[in-house]
Amino acid sequence: DAGVTQSPTHLIKTRGQQVTLRCSPKSGHDTVSWYQQALGQGPQFIFQYYEEEERQRGNFPDRFSGHQFPNYSSELNVNALLLGDSALYLCASTWGEPSSYNEQFFGPGTRLTVL
Amino acid sequence: QKEVEQNSGPLSVPEGAIASLNCTYSDRGSQSFFWYRQYSGKSPELIMSIYSNGDKEDGRFTAQLNKASQYVSLLIRDSQPSDSATYLCAVSSPEGGSQGNLIFGKGTKLSVKP
């Protein structure tokens, strides 16, 4: 039973560039959420996708966008990278209609460094 | 502004002792509470979920919830060096269309000394 997978593992970009991160949810899961975790902080919610639609969004600028595909996998895109975007980007998946009761399972994350 | 507060630690306990990790939250409408363990350089791993007042036990872990006091805790019995990690408290509330949006504390770093 495959867990949540993310790619790439590490990424180094320069300011102003654009980046795309990818996530495949755990088998049987159809809801994907993205979180940003800065060093020494807890993860912060970016947005959530269900049925190929963005269902919720956290307090992140429009430079952060996403997509969910028919096979439930998801992408996170960040445009015009800033130094402050350097963080661990986590994808979490769960099953069914978004609910506060659903347990979320995290992938290994993508470490993004912006120089 | 919904907040989740945890002592950052580090919390140091000897091997075999009980480790007690605490968390408070600001949103009285919160319904679901989760504890995640995060080893250095790794992603969070779900340990426990709790939804009702009282205790929930799973092996060496016990989660305790008191909604009136807006307080949730995690007890780790017979602590092992392998339990050394950062423990993240996460809260989810159905209010305001925020279903499934986890709000995390900054985490408590636990160190178990052999």
pLDDT in tens, A14-51: 999 999 999 999 999 999 999 999 999 999 999 999 99
Q: Closest approach of chain A CAs to the CA of B51, in angstroms?
A: 8
- In the numeric block, the tokens 């989660």 are attached to B63
Say which residue the tokens 């956290």 belong to. A58
Asked if A99 is an interface residue toward chain B (Cβ–Cβ < 8 A), one would say yes
Q: Residue A18 has what DSSP assignment?
A: -
Tokens 């300011």 -> residue: A15
- Percent of chain B topping pLDDT 70: 95
Q: Dihedrals φ, ψ of B11, to 5°?
A: -100, 120
Distances (CA, A) of B105 to A26, B5, B22, B78, B109: 25, 5, 10, 25, 12
* Total residues belonging to chain A: 115
- Tell me which of B4 and A100 has the higher pLDDT: B4
CB contacts of B100 in chain A (<8 Å) are: 31, 33, 48, 55-56, 94, 98-100, 102, 104
As beta bridge partners, residue B77 has none
Chain B environment of A92 (Cβ under 8 Å): 102
Note whether A43 contacts B104, CB cutoff 8 Å.
yes
B103: which strand partners?
B91
If you average pLDDT over every residue of chain A, what do you get? 95
C-beta of residue B77 within 8 angstroms of C-beta of residue B64: no
pLDDT tens column, A57-91: 999 999 999 999 999 999 999 999 999 999 999 99
DSSP designation for B81: G
Whose structure tokens read 């963080």?
A: A87
Give the model confidence (pLDDT) of B76-96 as tens digits.
999 999 999 999 999 987 655
Interface contact flag, B44 A43, Cβ < 8 Å: yes
Across the interface, whether the CB atoms of B46 and A44 are under 8 A apart is answered no
At residue B69, the pLDDT reads: 96
Q: Quote the radius of gyration of chain B (alpha carbons, Å).
A: 14
Q: How far is residue B56's CA from residue B49's CA, in Å, rounded to a whole number?
A: 8
Our measurement of the distance from residue A67's CA atom to the centroid of its chain's CA atoms, rounded to an integer in Å, reads: 10
Neighbour order of strands in the sheet with A64-68: A5-7, A19-24, A74-78, A64-68
Of the pLDDT bands very low, low, confident and very high (cuts 50, 70, 90), residue A96 is: confident
Is A42 within 8 Å of B92 when comparing Cβ atoms?
A: no
Average pLDDT over residues B30-42: 95
Task: List strand residue ranges (DSSP E) for chain B, in order.
Answer: 4-5, 11-14, 19-25, 32-38, 45-50, 54-58, 61-66, 71-76, 85-92, 102-104, 108-113
Confidence at residue B1, expressed as pLDDT on a 0 to 100 scale: 74
3-state DSSP call for residue B64? strand
B43 touches chain A (CB under 8 A): yes
